[in-house]
Amino acid sequence: MPNNLLKIVLLAVFSILLISCNQMSANKVPEIKKGIAPVADNEVAIVEMEQPVYGKFTIELYSNIAPEMVKRFKELAKEGFYDGTTIHRINQAVIQGGDPLSKDSNPKNDGTGKSNKPNVPAEFSDILYDSGIVGAARGMDIHSQNCQFFVTLKRTPEFDQKYTIFGKVVDGMSNVRTIAGTPRDGESPIEAVKIKSITIQPKK
């Protein structure tokens, strides 16, 4: 009996250590890509807003910097995933969107949703978060990128090497700023700022 009890205790301790190691590994900071200039893909993303006043804006995508996040963004866009979602968060630094839960009538859950696809691991780089940079939104887990994205409105050094950069707005930044100026309650727009569509098109 003592031997059996010892085996059970050792097994329990091993299981706890294994779980702890897995958790540490899951949140381990990835190697940061340094000294690599972003190279724009031969495709761009066109974000067209539902309200004409907000127009549209164009994002160039950096597969050489964040291949997995670019792949996910393109997949979701081609599936129509973003159509009808909103820009649900606006502050002095960013506009953020891409949450499927923003399609429902409950604004309190905006920012908490994701797609049915697995999370994307962090792909950090030393590219600076200047105005117009497109980053992958995430939770506390640095590897929880999934579908949400944000666009920076100004130089935001606190984001450097902490959020995956996968693109940049190269046309229509004035429309992004118009979106950022919409009336809001805290960080939430008072009226829904809807994305009509995000399409992937050949770069001209």
Across 90-99, average pLDDT: 98
Q: Is residue 80 part of a domain?
A: yes
Q: What is the mean pLDDT of residues 128-136?
A: 98
The CATH code of the domain that includes 140 is 2.40.100.10
Residue 20 lies in a domain: no
Tell whether 102 is covered by a domain: yes
Domain count, the chain: 1
| Residue 185 lies inside a defined structural domain of this protein | yes
Is 151 a domain residue? yes
Instruction: Report pLDDT for 108.
Output: 87
**How confident is the model over 147-176, as a mean pLDDT?**
98
Is residue 24 a part of any domain in this protein? no
* pLDDT band of 30, cuts 50, 70, 90: confident
Range of the domain at 133: 31-202
pTM of the model: 0.86
Burial of 177 (0-12, 13-18, 19+ CB in 10 A): middle
Token pair, residue 125, equals 């780089």
Residue at 3 is within a domain:
no
45, part of any domain: yes
pLDDT for position 4: 58
What whole-number percentage of the chain has pLDDT above 70? 87
